[in-house]
Amino acid sequence: MCRNPGILAAVASIVLLTSSCAKEGPTGPIGPSGPAYIGYISGHVSLYDQYGNKVLNNLDSVAIALGSNSVTGIDDTVSRPNSSGYYIYSNLYTGQYYITAADTGYGATNTDNFEFVSGNLNKDIKLSAIPTFSLSFGSYYTSGSPNDSLVINCTPDEQIRSCVIFLNHAPSLVAGESYVLSYAKNIPANSAQITAIIDSQELHAAGFASGSMIYYTVFSHALNDQSSYEDLTTGNTVYTAVSYPTIDSALAP
């Protein structure tokens, strides 16, 4: 068979040109986004005094803010419950929401990052009163002791009360800040003084080396606090129904 090199080269060029100019086929259609359902979030507000007793009046004074980082048009929409404590947000779309609630004299609370899909989602809200009683205390260190001691003084009261103790490496601490350790202590009825024992092994496990400085912060604290919530960033509990703090320091045993 006779072969013509020129013809073969021309054919090869045509094939190469055709393949290099070929276009990709059209992509398939993009499917629609998932459905956005409409529903409502509702619930009841409950108030508690500093002793943990339920408060039945002024429920409609609580300011409730509904917000969302994922739903357009929802940006801390504030409402108030009715006199029975019932609240409702209607015509809400599927998404991620948060609720905050506050009232004068009560610890604010936060319900963060919850999913709403459709229908009715119930989110009850509970607030505890900020205590009005005050505390004083001293922290004591004895070399070689298996613990630190805190002696907490308060005015006697006929009802049980509570306090919360925070331990930190720095002297400045407010209720919502990060801390290393925390303890809750009940103050028995008619007691003017209680002692809190802080075990040295717990201190060492938390990073307080023997002889290092510990800063203790004590707040009077609502009994069975309903306003506390978890800080999703640090994992710590945020206590909001607390009084003005008192601070002291001691060395780790």
Q: Which domains does the chain have, with CATH numbers?
A: 38-128 (2.60.40.1120), 135-251 (2.60.40)
Helix/strand/coil for 107:
coil
Structure confidence by residue, pLDDT tens digits, 220-243: 999 999 999 988 887 888 889 999
Mean pLDDT of all residues in 95-105: 95
DSSP line for 57-99: S-GGG-EEEEEESSSTT-S-EEE---TTSEEEEEEEESEEEEE
What's the start-to-end Cα distance of the chain, in Å? 103
* Selected residue with higher pLDDT from 179 and 35: 179
CA triple 159-135-58, angle to 5 deg: 55
In this structure, how many other beta carbons lie within 10 angstroms of the beta carbon of residue 235? 8
- Report CA dihedral (68, 72, 73, 78) to the nearest 10 degrees: 0
- The reported pTM is 0.76
pLDDT score of 24: 55
18-46 pLDDT tens trace: 444 445 555 555 655 555 678 999 999 99
Structure-model confidence comparison of residues 144 and 163, the more confident one: 163
Whole-angstrom CA distances from 170 to 33, 175, 212 are 50, 14, 12
